[in-house]
C-alpha cells in the first residue's frame, strides 16, 4: 500500500496556478521531511522542492524558485505544493515523496527517497 497519495493535478492555461496535495496514511508523517518531484517521458525525475519534518526548512530547485511554494499541515498529514505562473514547460507527472536521507541538504536527490506516491498529472496549455 502506497503511504502517500497525490491530488490536485489537471489542465491549466499558461500563467495559471494549481495547488497539489499529498495525503499520508499509515505513516508517521510528522517524522519525515517531504519532497515534490516531477518527471516527463523525456527527462529524468527532477526534484522540485522539499520541506523539513516541522516545516521550518524548505529547499527549492532553480526551476521552482519564486513560483512554487511547499508547505505542510502535520495535523492533516498533508503536503502541499502551490504552483503559480505555470508554463507549458511545467507539464509533467508530479510526485510526492517521503525523504529518508540523513541530511535535508540531500532532499532533492531521488536516491534518498523512501516512498513515492503514484503521481498526479499537470498539463499546462499555451
Reading the chain (126 residues) residue by residue, the pLDDT tens digits are 779 999 999 999 999 999 999 999 988 999 999 999 999 989 999 999 999 999 999 999 999 999 999 999 999 999 999 999 999 999 999 999 999 888 888 999 999 999 999 999 999 999
Cell triple for 46:
527532477
State the DSSP code for 33: -
Calpha distance 10→100 (Å, rounded): 29
Closest CA to 82 of 63, 64, 69: 69
Share of the chain above pLDDT 70, in %: 100
Calpha distance 88→51 (Å, rounded): 25
Amino acid at each position: 500500500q502506497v503511504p502517500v497519495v497525490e491530488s490536485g493535478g489537471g489542465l491549466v492555461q499558461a500563467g495559471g496556478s494549481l495547488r497539489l496535495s499529498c495525503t499520508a496514511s499509515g505513516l508517521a508523517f510528522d517524522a519525515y521531511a517531504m519532497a515534490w518531484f516531477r518527471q516527463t517521458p523525456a527527462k529524468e525525475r527532477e526534484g522540485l522542492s522539499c520541506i523539513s519534518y516541522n516545516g521550518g526548512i524548505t529547499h527549492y530547485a532553480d526551476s521552482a524558485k519564486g513560483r512554487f511554494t511547499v508547505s505542510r499541515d502535520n495535523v492533516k498529514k498533508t503536503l502541499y505544493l502551490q504552483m503559480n505562473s505555470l508554463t507549458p514547460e511545467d507539464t509533467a507527472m508530479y510526485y510526492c515523496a517521503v525523504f529518508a536521507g540523513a541530511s535535508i541538504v540531500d532532499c532533492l536527490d531521488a536516491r534518498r527517497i523512501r516512498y513515492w506516491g503514484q503521481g498526479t498529472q499537470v498539463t499546462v496549455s499555451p
